[in-house]
Amino acid sequence: MPLDPVIAYVLDLMASNGAAKMSAGTPQEAREGFRAMTVGLRDPATLAQVGEVVDRTVDGPAGPLPVRIYRPGTDGPHPTVLFIHGGGFVIGDLDTHDDHARLVCRDVDAVVVSVDYRLAPESPFPAGLEDCLSAYRWMVDAAAELGGDADRLAVAGDSAGGNLSAAVALAARDAGSPLAAQLLIYPGVDFAEDADHPSRVQNGEGYFLTAEDMQWFGQHYLQGSSTMDPRASVLRAPDLSGVAPAVVGTAEYDPLRDEGEAYADALEKAGVRVVRHRYDGLIHGFFGLGPVSPACAAAVAELCADLKALLAR
């Protein structure tokens, strides 16, 4: 299917303006550029309205860990969702993904806890994952206090956040307290050197996220750790049985498309319930493009509706 025309226009505009690849600069330059592209260009009027937003810190493995809590404007108790932002483990923060967390809060009708985990290269693997696990454990203990339902806990994330969400879901299973659901939005799940995913080549240039960007992110994140470690390459986990039911969303023109779909296949093979969608015509990052693209907005609504259905009583 051809590219969504709105996305094609945005990509052409970026190319004509000489937008540099994230991998062409330093991590700090990439962070600043990403914030300018997200927070800087965001129209506050497009943000999903929720009942309450509160910033606080919780105990993390390296000290106070910032989280942002979103509560719906409806009566509870609600499902409670840990949201983990994307950004290749190197960029992104609570503000760049404020719109994502708000959408999950409103459309899933859930309390959302968004976590500001440590980033690479300053804090390489597994620091970010350890922060997310700390936030998850805090969320479990605080669900009732948050206005949530301790029996309906989930994790959700995009891109690198999808990777971390899948890793948290596996850890929750191993701890004997599996989550009720997981939402994996175009997740990157395979750092292995022998990985064979054709979409990395087919979509490796010209669709926002590039093959060079992915290599750059992986080098900063792993810094010598094994590319086969299943906490990073969750697709390589030896046993996926018993993990939370999953909603998996991929995009036709995303370099990460094939590995996300391979993870959905592996979950299904392990007997896990999977609701899956490939969104033709869309690119990596579509979850944040709803305000400019009706096709992206429809995809976001469908993914949130599927997560809501998995969390229904």
Flag whether pLDDT at 116 surpasses 90: yes
Domain spans in the chain, listed from the N-terminal domain onward: 5-310
Active-site residue set: 159, 254, 284
Q: What CA–CA distance (Å, rounded) separates 126 from 106?
A: 31
Q: What CA–CA distance (Å, rounded) separates 214 from 227?
A: 13
What is the phi/psi pair of residue 202, to 5°?
-60, -40
Flag whether pLDDT at 234 surpasses 80: yes
C-alpha 245: how far from chain center: 16
Q: What is the pLDDT of residue 68?
A: 98
Fold observed for domain 5-310: Rossmann fold (3.40.50)
Quick check: bond before 79 cis, omega within 30? no
Model pLDDT for residues 274-294, shown as the tens digit of each residue = 999 999 999 999 999 999 999
Flag whether pLDDT at 23 surpasses 90: no
Q: Enumerate residues 6+ apart whose C-beta is below 8 A from 35.
A: 93, 95, 96
pLDDT band per the 50, 70, 90 thresholds, residue 22: confident
Lowest mean pLDDT among 177-181, 183-187, 286-290, 297-301: 177-181
Q: What is the pLDDT of residue 16?
A: 84
